[in-house]
Structure 1
Amino acid sequence: MSTLYRFGSSLFLAGFRALRVDLRVTGHEHIPATGPVVLASNHISYLDFAFVMLAPPAPRREVRFLARNDFFRNPVTGFLLRRLGQIPVDVHGDALQSAAAAQAVLEDGEVVGLHPEGTISPSFVPRRGKSGVVRLADSVGAPIVPVALWGSQRLLTKGRPARPTRGAVVVVRYGEAFRPTARTTMLRTQEVMQRIGAELERAQTSYPQRPGPPPEDWWQPAHLGGSAPTPEEAEAAIRAQNEARRRAREAKGAVGAEDARRTEGGAA
């Protein structure tokens, strides 16, 4: 393990210890010891990538996660992500560059981690997976290890105040490595999400802590009796948020174009 990776990992571990996180890992032996591997996990917290990376016991393989380039612009998270060698993804631009970077990591026989859903699920129920996970694995013939996380949403998640729950149990389950066999990319992607979902159900069933009464049960999915939004409500909120961002980008572009015209007019 590289010195920079070890340094970045130690910072995350120190933070988790300060929060008294009770990390419980199952199935780490399913991660192949050598060769290219894709770790595909559900996404319920901004810290998911760190738990997937740090959960396997030593000797630990380095994991390069695909992360939104927004996080690289933040001085703190950007510093940590660069030290850990993570791969920036421009979600509003050309994704080919990040895909090529991830493929290069796999071609070197290393491990790439990603969230097929593409963004945090506000309902804490897996969203529809994107085909990039299958295309990436197929590009080098790498096996996929389905990963389920549960409890990490109690530390830091979308739409909630940054007030981590101290003493929270975080469960990380690694399923058996496999290669999807369905005929189409869409069906192979569904196969990956089904495997992740199966591991997630096991993680939820074995989770030792129970939520309190509303509103303390915000982190529990609606279908399990909690007050988290339903998948339908969550998708509606995501669509509204994406539309607001699109309009903001268009407005910013229009202002920039107008400023450019004024500058050209003044120069003339």
Structure 2
Amino acid sequence: MDITYPITIALAKTWFRVADMKINMTGTEHIPREGGALLAINHLSYVDYLMAGYPGEKQGRLTRFMAKREVFDHPIGGPVMRSFKHISVDRSAGLESMERAEEAIRAGEVVGIFPESTISQSFLIKELKTGAVRIAARADAPLIPVVLWGTHRILTKGRKADLSRHQRIDIEVGEPMYPTGEDPIAETAELRSRMEAMLDRLILATPAEERPEGAWWLPKQYGGSAPTIEEAAAAYAEERRLRAQRKAAARKKG
């Protein structure tokens, strides 16, 4: 029985109303009202879990998100995540995490996955991992692309939170795919292509006054100053190198 999840949803909807947030959603009918499904969601910010669950809520569904194990290890966040029945992802044991997701979907749950794995600092669709199509194929379930736009302006990596009122969030739920798993690379490329087209629609649907030249929240190809996919990838690689370096230094001290 779910107790904390519905309460959190109610609190989130209160926030949306108080902040007069303008949430525009299309395609929610693609999320089934019953039965298992896998949602493949782009990753722009730290509030994506909250926003990406909204389309399912409109269909009377609770989305069980796949999230990195470190979140579950947190003394406060861990119990909350488990109470929501979210799924822990241990990157060193990926197959086990996929099996848990598959089991949840076969049990009739809607599961959410971020196939980019990390936040896209270019705000475009990064290269996707093949896990999404493989899980959907193994579970014999629809794979439904969900693309968010605007969440990064609230809280994203390297930026201070902006909780100002009247923020605009756009969400498009795409038509389901039915992967076979016979060619995960090609099916993942198709998923990325669909998500890129969806993101393009959402960005171009944003009023011109919210797309000022040089804005940090706009990808370069749309006139903004966000890093390119290549620049963001290089920055992420450097970040991982420094993190590994710090861990190695800590081990030596220990």
Q: Is the 8 A contact 1:68 1:89 kept in 2?
A: yes
Separation in structure 1 between the aligned mates of residue 15 and residue 86 of structure 2, nearest angstrom:
19
Q: Is the 8 A contact 2:122 2:229 kept in 1?
A: yes
1:206 aligns with 2:200: no
Q: Secondary structure of the residue that 2:25 maps to in structure 1?
A: strand
Q: Secondary structure of the residue that 1:153 maps to in structure 2?
A: helix
Q: Is the 8 A contact 2:22 2:169 kept in 1?
A: yes
Seen in structure 2, the aligned counterparts of structure 1 residues 174 and 59 have a Cα distance that, compared at 3 Å, is: closer
Deviation at 1:79, TM superposition (A): 5.1
Q: Is the 8 A contact 2:124 2:219 kept in 1?
A: yes
Seen in structure 2, the aligned counterparts of structure 1 residues 42 and 24 have a Cα distance that, compared at 3 Å, is: same
Q: Is the 8 A contact 1:36 1:111 kept in 2?
A: yes
Which residue number in structure 2 is paired with residue 106 of structure 1?
105
Deviation at 1:45, TM superposition (A): 0.9
Residue 239 of structure 2 is aligned with which of 232, 238, 241? 241
Which residue number in structure 2 is paired with residue 218 of structure 1?
216
* CA displacement, residues 162-202 of structure 1 (integer Å, 9 cap, x when unaligned): 23343111011001112136852111111111111111111
Separation in structure 2 between the aligned mates of residue 255 and residue 112 of structure 1, nearest angstrom:
41
Deviation at 1:145, TM superposition (A): 0.6
Deviation at 1:146, TM superposition (A): 0.8
Separation in structure 2 between the aligned mates of residue 76 and residue 156 of structure 1, nearest angstrom:
20
Q: Is the 8 A contact 1:21 1:169 kept in 2?
A: yes
* CA displacement, residues 120-155 of structure 1 (integer Å, 9 cap, x when unaligned): 000001110001101111111111111110011111
TM-score of the superposed pair, with normalisation by structure 2: 0.90
Deviation at 1:70, TM superposition (A): 3.1
Deviation at 1:48, TM superposition (A): 1.1
Matches of residues 1-268 of structure 1 in structure 2 within 5 Å?
2-56=2-56, 58-74=58-74, 77-78=77-78, 80-91=80-91, 93-180=92-179, 183-208=182-207, 210-212=210-212, 214=214, 217-256=215-254
Deviation at 1:231, TM superposition (A): 1.2
Q: Is the 8 A contact 1:9 1:84 kept in 2?
A: no
Deviation at 1:232, TM superposition (A): 1.4
Separation in structure 2 between the aligned mates of residue 250 and residue 241 of structure 1, nearest angstrom:
14
Seen in structure 2, the aligned counterparts of structure 1 residues 13 and 68 have a Cα distance that, compared at 3 Å, is: farther
Root mean square deviation of aligned Cα: 2.2
Separation in structure 1 between the aligned mates of residue 89 and residue 18 of structure 2, nearest angstrom:
30
Structure 2: give runs of 5+ residues left out of the alignment. none
Separation in structure 1 between the aligned mates of residue 19 and residue 73 of structure 2, nearest angstrom:
25
Separation in structure 2 between the aligned mates of residue 57 and residue 12 of structure 1, nearest angstrom:
12
Seen in structure 2, the aligned counterparts of structure 1 residues 174 and 229 have a Cα distance that, compared at 3 Å, is: same
Bigger mean CA deviation after superposition, 24-33 or 98-107: 98-107
Paired AA for residue 132 in structure 2: V
Seen in structure 2, the aligned counterparts of structure 1 residues 168 and 141 have a Cα distance that, compared at 3 Å, is: same
Deviation at 1:104, TM superposition (A): 1.5
Q: Secondary structure of the residue that 1:94 maps to in structure 2?
A: helix
Structure 1: give runs of 5+ residues left out of the alignment. 257-268
Seen in structure 2, the aligned counterparts of structure 1 residues 89 and 17 have a Cα distance that, compared at 3 Å, is: farther
Separation in structure 1 between the aligned mates of residue 57 and residue 117 of structure 2, nearest angstrom:
27
Q: Is the 8 A contact 2:2 2:84 kept in 1?
A: no
Q: Is the 8 A contact 1:8 1:84 kept in 2?
A: no
Paired AA for residue 50 in structure 1: L
Q: Secondary structure of the residue that 2:53 maps to in structure 1?
A: helix
Bigger mean CA deviation after superposition, 116-125 or 99-108: 99-108
Q: Secondary structure of the residue that 1:96 maps to in structure 2?
A: helix
